[in-house]
Amino acid sequence: MIQFDFHKAFSRTTGWVTESELQRLRNSRVAIAGLGGVGGSHLLTLTRLGVGGFNLADFDTFAIENFNRQAGANLTTIGRPKLDVLLEMALSINPELDINQFQRGVEPARAEYFLSDCDLYLDGLDFFALEARRALFSACDRMKIPAVTAAPLGMGSALLNFLPDGMNFEAYFQLEGKGEYQQYLHFLVGLAPAALHATSLVLPERIDLVAKKGPSTPMGCELCAGLAATQVLKILLGRGKVLAAPWGLQFDAYQNRLRRTWRPGGNRHPLQRLAIWLGERRLLG
């Protein structure tokens, strides 16, 4: 049996980080809620980066409709809990990982417990899981924990960072008091003010907010993992400039475009309000 050696396993990262920084990553703990298309790739990417501790939450099982984008989905894992599968995959990369498991997902009332002892929260929740997402970002704000969210949009990704003492999730997205479908629209518009993905959608009717379904690609999920893991590295190591809300990033590989966005006031910004008004008429009738 091959003997695991942490420093040898992740030695190729050294050069982009120092030996001492690699050790800091090894001693860090990241919370990831949701281990589907985005969250599963987040876990595997950060494991390969050398992060040594995780709090992981997911209550779902794999199904055949997950095959197009989720790292743990294949014929052998249909019906198996996503948490179990991704745990096995991560431990097969680094058997020394220190992992706390939350098999029932994240219950909003226990958000702070889920985030206990973590240095950062990385959002992997399904787009429509707004109750749990709001609870977690609110807990991060109270606990002064940095939080990163990256959304797979078409063949690209939109990214936002929420840092302690900066603009928080609720102030940016303005979800309080909104109806369920209005919250989805506010979340979508707030994630990607540049809307680079919009012109690549060839079948707009495939977005169904009422049925809580939308199209996805494997490229979008993997780009999310790359963008988000880079932000995680910068935040955990205190290295490099981190753009935080109301600043954001969107990259669209299909459009060959990268945009840095700035929306003071978040969804209160006039351009955001206009986009939401138009979206209500297009998506909500």
Task: State yes or no: pLDDT of 197 exceeds 70.
Answer: yes
Region 170-185 average pLDDT: 94
Q: What percent of the chain has pLDDT over 90?
A: 90
**What phi and psi, each to the nearest 5 degrees, are found at residue 105?**
80, -160
Which has more pLDDT, 236 or 208? 236
pLDDT at 285: 58
pLDDT at 200: 87
Contacts of 139 (CB under 8 A, 6+ apart): 111, 112, 114, 115, 145
119 pLDDT band (50/70/90 cuts)? Answer: very high
pLDDT at 231: 98
pLDDT at 207: 78
Region 16-32 average pLDDT: 98
pLDDT at 1: 72
20 pLDDT band (50/70/90 cuts)? Answer: very high
Confidence (pTM)? 0.96
Task: State yes or no: pLDDT of 283 exceeds 90.
Answer: no
156 pLDDT band (50/70/90 cuts)? Answer: very high
Task: State yes or no: pLDDT of 168 exceeds 80.
Answer: yes
204 pLDDT band (50/70/90 cuts)? Answer: confident
Task: Report the range of poorest mean pLDDT among 87-96, 107-116, 272-281.
Answer: 272-281
Task: State yes or no: pLDDT of 222 exceeds 80.
Answer: yes
Q: What percent of the chain has pLDDT over 70?
A: 98
281 pLDDT band (50/70/90 cuts)? Answer: confident
Task: State yes or no: pLDDT of 34 exceeds 70.
Answer: yes
pLDDT digits (tens, 9 = 90+) for 42-58: 999 999 999 999 999 99
